Structure 1
Amino acid sequence: MSDPARESTRRRLTAKQADTVERLGQAAVTVLGREGFAGLTVRRVATEAGVGAATAYTYFSSKEHLVAEVFWRRLVGSPCVAHQSDDPAERVIEVFGHISKPVADEPEFAGAVTAALLGRDPDVEVLRLRIALDIRDRLTEAVGADADPGVVDTLELLYSGALVSAGMGYSSYDDISRRLATAARLLLG
C-alpha cells in the first residue's frame, strides 16, 4: 500500500515532489498567519515557498485545495489514538481531542480549513471524502465495531458542527473540546 503522505489528490508524488508539496503547505500556513484566508493565493504561497506559480498550480487547483490538502496531511500524519479506557465515551473524547489538534493552535488556519472544506473545487471534494472516512473510521473504532451506525453519524455531525462553529469564531477550541466531551457523554452514557 502506498504512503498517504506521498499521495496527492491530483497524482502520485516522487520524493522530490513530496518535498515541494510539503514546502508549499508550510508556506501556506505562514501566509495564512500573516494575510488571513482572504489574502491567501496560490501565487503568494509559491513565492513564499520559493517555487514558481506554475509549479504550485501543478499540485493545487486553488487555495481551497491547498488548505484542504494541508489539513488532510496533518490528519493522516497523526496516527490513531491508542485508547487507554474501556469506556466508549472516554475513547470518543480522546478521538475528538486528537482529530482537533491539526487546527487547534492556529486560528487562521482553522478558519481557512472551514472555508476550504465548504468549497466546491473537485479536488477539495475528494479530500473532504477522505477526511470524512478517516474521521468515521476513528470514531467507529472508539465506539466499538458493533456500534449503532446512527451513533457514529451523530458523532460525525457533532465534530463537523463544532469545527464550523470554531472556524467561524463563535467558540474557542477549548470551549469546543469541553462541549464535544459533554455531547459524547450524553450520547454514549
Structure 2
Amino acid sequence: MSGNYESTRRRLTAKQAETVSRLTKCAVEVLREGGFAGLTVRLVAARAGVAPATAYTYFSSKEHLVAEVFWRRLAEMPREDATSDDRTARAVAVLRSVALLVSDEPELAAAVTTALLGRDPDVEHLRARVGLEIRERLIAALEPEPDQDLVEALELLYSGALVRAGMGYGSYTRIADRLEISARMILP
C-alpha cells in the first residue's frame, strides 16, 4: 500500500496528508511519554506544530487518532508469502504478524486496544477497515479453499487474544505464541 492514505473523513491533498502523517507520528511520541491517559489531540497538535482546530479537522477524538495510527501500521505491513504450500503456516503467519504489530511499543499497544473499542463513528469506520484487512489476509492465506466458518473462528481467536494482551494478561509476544498454538488446534 502506498504512503498516501485516504482519511476516514475525507480525501487528502499532499499537504494535508503530510499534516496527518505528522500528527500520527507525534501521537506515538506523546503515547510513549504519557500513555493513553496523557494523550490529547491538543497535545499532539502542539507537538506537530499545528493548531488544535486543524488537528480536529482530521481526528474527531484521541481514540480516532490512535486507531488511525494502528490502521496505517497494519496497511504498511507486508503481506505474508503466498508461495508456501502450507496454508496453516500461512494463516499462523498472518495471526502472528497482527499480534506482534505493536508489540515493541507497550503504550501504543494498550492505547490501540482502548481506542479500537470506542464508539466514535470514525473509530467504528477504522475498526471495520482493520477487520476487513485482516480478513482479506486470512482468506488469502487459506487459499485455495478458504472456509468462511474457519476464517471467522480465526478472527474471533485473534480479536480475543489482542484484547487479552491489551488488558495486560501477558505480553504481546506471549499472546502471539498462544495464538499460534490455538490456531494450529483449529486449523485442519
When normalised by structure 1's length, the TM-score is 0.94
In the TM superposition, 1:34-183 aligns within 5 A as 34-183=33-182
Q: Structure 1 CA distance, aligned partners of 2:137 and 2:179?
A: 15
Q: Percent of pairs identical after alignment?
A: 61
Where is the helix percentage greater, Structure 1 or Structure 2? 1
Aligned-pair Cα RMSD in Å:
1.5
Question: Any stretches of 5+ residues in structure 1 without a counterpart?
Answer: none
SS in 1 for 2:47: helix
Question: Any stretches of 5+ residues in structure 2 without a counterpart?
Answer: none
Paired residue type of 2:111: A
Number of equivalences: 188
SS in 1 for 2:165: helix
SS in 2 for 1:37: coil
Q: Give 1:145 deviation, angstroms.
A: 4.3
SS in 2 for 1:103: coil
Q: Give 1:101 deviation, angstroms.
A: 3.7
Q: Give 1:102 deviation, angstroms.
A: 2.8
Deviations 1:95-119 (A, max 9, x none): 1122234311101101100000000
SS in 1 for 2:78: coil
Is this contact kept in 1: 2:81–2:90, CA < 8 A? no
Q: Structure 1 CA distance, aligned partners of 2:156 and 2:83?
A: 24
Is this contact kept in 2: 1:162–1:176, CA < 8 A? yes
When normalised by structure 2's length, the TM-score is 0.95
Q: Give 1:157 deviation, angstroms.
A: 0.8
Detail structure 1 runs of 4+ shifted over 6 Å in the superposition.
none
SS in 2 for 1:39: coil
Q: Structure 1 CA distance, aligned partners of 2:128 and 2:86?
A: 28
